[in-house]
Structure 1
């Protein structure tokens, strides 16, 4: 469905402006925090955010995804920096990782995203929502020592969220709590009909109001009582170059003289694999949230992400990938096309050049309020109810994915959820591959074995057991009318049973649409 048909051009542009602005406000501190947690220069996170918005946003066919540095890459970046030691050498690995991703796109490796069931994707979104909510709690009360918003409750440095919460509620800030309460009130009230009935208010991003309110309250408190005002790491901390030379000095270039170092290629492969998988999962997840239900071409996405990492590595940026949190924030603010990603990247570029001191006045408490509301929308109770109502086959993989991500990390949790989902697929394939029904006609017992749509080698044992227990002097009907595929191993079992049936005086007939499935008929009859 065309975006214009449902929303109208003006509405779509306004929503994209809001989405790009809100995601930009959220991206600034996250780019810096993730860079800090990854052990790379802070400005490399900003560079990756700009490249993710402008380069990937321009090349990608995804209408809602926004790319940049992502917390799931922290561990692999830390390991790579430790292995390669020098940042320019690390940039070379990022550059090569981008080339690998482009190659994967041409090899059509994006098909892997089709093998992730929707229950696992929804579980991933819900888990991210829960973690977002939990990880904002310290910031809401003014404890801002840990700026990186990761996808795991347990940090690589062992300083987990429970420890942070304990310390946070012992070292809370009244100013931060005041800003948080007012910010959450604005975000909640802004969605109410009373506010949305006014066109002017409807087109003003609630997040912009929240950020402006936070800056204003903190400046007012600073003028009245400087000791109570938020400062330092309670605010966004963006590098502020004094001169053009100072700004250019924030960029670093790869060390191409290290091209013969095998560790560079091993590191590049690690970055490419993790970044590609996270990008594909993020694209799948954002497509699930898309109200227009558009499907993004995954192979094109791999190429776009790869070119993004090539550019990022060339100019001093850390690796990037599609970011669910940023994309969700943008979507919730009204974004409906890729213009939001381009606006997001443009604002990052303009503001880090012209307005870094203004951005450095934004309290973390304001941004935490925005992320908390986003987390709630990802993990609403209604989503859990819908998955439960869909049945155990949907609910168990969903809830397993949620719990596994909370207890481990994003990729491990998804792997566990996928394994549970695969188990139920195999179980259903095993159970529903055939049915047996016994009845009598004129006093003679007839046994009908109805084959399912897909009969695999997993059903060999159960079919063999059924055939062995058929009594003498029976009439057996093997119904294949619903079968689109029967594994050759199963066909061999049926043929073997037919060849020996006369020894037990068993009559066999096959029910199948011979005209429609001659090859299957031929295989059974052989």
Structure 2
């Protein structure tokens, strides 16, 4: 499998790939725009902080990333941590110092190659994470598609910060208060996206494969809303003054460009709290990044292998820069990465281009972009969610057996009804339990031929195999001729060893012929000691 080298990618870049990368970057930009603003709102931070983080995540981390397809930006999973930290420290400027320090910590984690820990997450858990995120995207976007925007865009926890509702009750409230204009826009947008995808799959014309359907959907949404304004005023969703629209903040007349930025207050470096907050951000952001990298590699059609250590270094640099100019903490994020991949991205150029578009939007495109209804963007995200959570994935995982299906479902349910990290933790614990159970179930083999019984150890035997072995010994009958063969077990746990030798007395009393063959407490240690003696 091919390892990702960012400098090689850009130095040997084929301009023909722009036909896929630029449309994908545009699609990601349209998805990222409301998410950056929504996460800033959910974090209790200035709106521009979300856009700044999005620009840094796209351009800087996109350039340095260890992945070709991962897209970084402000993360919903950090919103609660950020809001709590700002309240504890007392100001957003003081909090920015923690972001800078977190970036330094991530950089160090990359240098010491801590990225290897991403390999410890079971495959079924990563698959469950992708499906769960898809379901959450759909559930969270239904209210926006119906015109209810009480919850922040980009918040993915089950219990909502904004209005005290949860994911399910929010949908019920949205149905009660559905806006006809938003419903029409979202339904037409969804139908268009489905038809466009089917045509692109069957058509030989490159236009349908390369032109971003998300852009057409946005134009449809803006056009329909303007039509409502003229012809059906009661369906009109409003303009920049209304909640249901993209709301990019604008620079006040007479104020300088730097007035929109916040800068860290380094006078708080003497406060011990700042270091605890920084460590928390570094840990959670790194974990989310590593999980998303595993997920993006799974979705990558080219099956490239991302460099987790390069990614941690890139995230560290990104967070230092983001903190220095007033941005939120940055991580690699599943929603934007998924949108990037499903939009046909080939290289990191799509992530970089989306960051450039966000930068242009901040300074030049605000008035025009503020005409976009959230309902048409909700349709784009619902399609991304469906691709992540197709029913076929459930069927395939079920066919793979219970050891895959149970951790997969625990992860899905855990993420949908709690949040990302809790769901991942639950799924990982269950996955490890299944791995241990399967491993110790296959650690010994029992063959019976009439009265002759062979109990053969297939691998190292640990105390967790004790119940299975105890049951096997308990099933022996008077007159049996039993051989316990430990030839293939370099290591036998002390509990197992004692139990096997203690059973000699039981075998005598019951009239069982009992023989132990090569049952050694720790063959590895003996071989090592013999080797030392031989050399001396």
Please report the TM-score for the alignment, with normalisation by the length of structure 1. Answer: 0.90
Residue number in structure 2 paired with 1:45: 50
Q: Does 2:220 match 1:213?
A: yes
- Distance, in Å, in 2 between the alignment partners of 1:416 and 1:381 is 22
Q: Answer with 176-185 or 31-40: which moved more.
A: 176-185
- Distance, in Å, in 1 between the alignment partners of 2:254 and 2:461 is 69
Q: Does 2:240 match 1:234?
A: no
Q: Does 2:374 match 1:364?
A: yes
- Measured after TM superposition, the shift of residue 465 of structure 1 is 5.9
Residue number in structure 2 paired with 1:66: 71
Residue number in structure 2 paired with 1:310: 320
Question: Which ranges in structure 1 are unaligned for 5 or more consecutive residues?
Answer: none
Is this contact kept in 1: 2:455–2:482, CA < 8 A?
no
The one-character-per-residue Cα deviations of 1:407-427 (angstroms, maximum 9, x if unpaired) are 211111111111111111121
Q: Secondary structure at the match of 1:214?
A: helix
Is this contact kept in 2: 1:120–1:397, CA < 8 A?
yes
Q: Does 2:187 match 1:177?
A: no
Residue number in structure 2 paired with 1:129: 134
The one-character-per-residue Cα deviations of 1:66-91 (angstroms, maximum 9, x if unpaired) are 00011111111111011111111000
Residue number in structure 2 paired with 1:196: 203
| Alignment map for 1:39-188 (pairs within 5 Å) | 39-157=44-162, 158-188=164-194
The one-character-per-residue Cα deviations of 1:193-226 (angstroms, maximum 9, x if unpaired) are 4773322232110001101111122223223455
- Measured after TM superposition, the shift of residue 493 of structure 1 is 4.2
Q: Does 2:353 match 1:348?
A: no
Number of residue pairs the alignment of both structures matches: 513
- Measured after TM superposition, the shift of residue 283 of structure 1 is 0.9
- Distance, in Å, in 2 between the alignment partners of 1:245 and 1:480 is 81
Q: Does 2:268 match 1:258?
A: yes
Residue number in structure 1 paired with 2:17: 12
- Distance, in Å, in 1 between the alignment partners of 2:175 and 2:466 is 60
- Distance, in Å, in 2 between the alignment partners of 1:133 and 1:189 is 19
- Distance, in Å, in 2 between the alignment partners of 1:354 and 1:190 is 30
Is this contact kept in 1: 2:66–2:309, CA < 8 A?
no
| Alignment map for 1:106-505 (pairs within 5 Å) | 106-157=111-162, 158-193=164-199, 196-231=203-238, 232-242=242-252, 245-439=255-449, 445-463=451-469, 466=472, 474=481, 476-478=483-485, 480-481=487-488, 486-489=491-494, 492-493=497-498, 496=501
Is this contact kept in 1: 2:461–2:493, CA < 8 A?
no
Question: Which ranges in structure 2 are unaligned for 5 or more consecutive residues?
Answer: 531-536
- Measured after TM superposition, the shift of residue 346 of structure 1 is 0.9
Q: Secondary structure at the match of 1:234?
A: coil
- Measured after TM superposition, the shift of residue 47 of structure 1 is 0.3
Q: Secondary structure at the match of 1:455?
A: coil
Q: Secondary structure at the match of 1:241?
A: coil
- Measured after TM superposition, the shift of residue 140 of structure 1 is 1.2
The one-character-per-residue Cα deviations of 1:448-491 (angstroms, maximum 9, x if unpaired) are 1222244333224543664687667835151544x5x5345378
Is this contact kept in 1: 2:140–2:156, CA < 8 A?
no
Residues 401 and 473 of structure 1: CA distance in aligned 2, closer, same or farther (over 3 Å): closer
- Distance, in Å, in 2 between the alignment partners of 1:403 and 1:188 is 27
Q: Does 2:44 match 1:36?
A: no
Q: Answer with 465-474 or 495-504: which moved more.
A: 495-504
Q: Does 2:32 match 1:22?
A: no
Q: Secondary structure at the match of 1:167?
A: helix
- Distance, in Å, in 2 between the alignment partners of 1:436 and 1:201 is 61
Q: Secondary structure at the match of 2:455?
A: strand
- Distance, in Å, in 1 between the alignment partners of 2:62 and 2:73 is 10
Residues 43 and 488 of structure 1: CA distance in aligned 2, closer, same or farther (over 3 Å): same
Residue number in structure 1 paired with 2:534: none
Q: Secondary structure at the match of 2:115?
A: helix
Q: Secondary structure at the match of 2:197?
A: coil
Is this contact kept in 2: 1:459–1:490, CA < 8 A?
no
Residues 322 and 438 of structure 1: CA distance in aligned 2, closer, same or farther (over 3 Å): same
- Measured after TM superposition, the shift of residue 99 of structure 1 is 0.9
Residues 505 and 398 of structure 1: CA distance in aligned 2, closer, same or farther (over 3 Å): closer
The one-character-per-residue Cα deviations of 1:88-140 (angstroms, maximum 9, x if unpaired) are 10000111111111122222222221111111111111111111111111111
The one-character-per-residue Cα deviations of 1:354-383 (angstroms, maximum 9, x if unpaired) are 111111111101100000000001111001
- Distance, in Å, in 2 between the alignment partners of 1:22 and 1:244 is 34
Q: Secondary structure at the match of 1:249?
A: helix
The one-character-per-residue Cα deviations of 1:261-292 (angstroms, maximum 9, x if unpaired) are 01111111111111111111111111111112
Is this contact kept in 2: 1:239–1:356, CA < 8 A?
yes
Is this contact kept in 1: 2:151–2:161, CA < 8 A?
no
- Measured after TM superposition, the shift of residue 429 of structure 1 is 2.1
Q: Answer with 227-236 or 262-271: which moved more.
A: 227-236
Q: Secondary structure at the match of 2:454?
A: strand
